[in-house]
Amino acid sequence: MSYLLRIMQLQDVPEILDYEQQKLAEQFPDEAERMIQSWKVKWRKEALEHYARLGWSFVARDEHHVTEKSPEGLLMGYFMAQPLLFFDGQTQTLWVEYLQYSSLKARDELAELAYKLAREKHLQKVLFLNENNVANSVAGFKPETWTTSVLSVKTTKAL
């Protein structure tokens, strides 16, 4: 069973914000600490809206857990991404700003989708922030450390 993977839409933003707020509450039970942490998260509303408009970000949904709030299925994860042109000597690179998930399967499917999307669109590499255990998801794509916090995955064959 795979998840439904589709392009993130602006109408997904409120649900993603709720999803992230719930995860943040689990990590930081104290409301004051949670508020301080929320100031530096990558999933702020304006960031989600920006990435949703670009068409390179995706959500993963479990179609077997449909609710009134989630008629397409329970949100299991998402990533925010955008193409970078003429970056680091490459014509086109996909930058994955953030990947969040509720299951390892969602993490792996989303990371694989980013890789396959870049290959399909003829981008030369994908850059993933090395957080949320994304290194485990991209291990099969032979990632290289680009910086201490970023993994680089080539999507084209070397000449």
Q: What distance in Å separates the CA atoms of residue 108 and residue 89, rounded to the nearest whole number?
A: 28
Q: Is residue 148 part of a domain?
A: yes
Query: How do residues 114-148 score in pLDDT, each as one tens digit?
Result: 999 999 999 999 999 888 788 888 888 888 888 88
Q: Is residue 143 part of a domain?
A: yes
Q: Is residue 107 part of a domain?
A: yes
Find where tokens 């959500």 sit. Answer: 59
Mean pLDDT of all residues belonging to the chain: 91
Q: Is residue 159 part of a domain?
A: no
CATH code where residue 63 lies: 3.40.630.30
Q: Is residue 91 part of a domain?
A: yes
Q: Is residue 78 part of a domain?
A: yes
Number of folded domains that form the chain: 1
Alpha-carbon distances, residue 146 vs 21, 30, 64, 99 (angstroms):
30, 36, 38, 18
In 3D space, the residue among 104, 3, 16, 23 whose CA is nearest the CA of residue 57 turns out to be 16
pTM of the prediction? Answer: 0.89
> Which range marks the domain in which residue 45 is found?
4-154
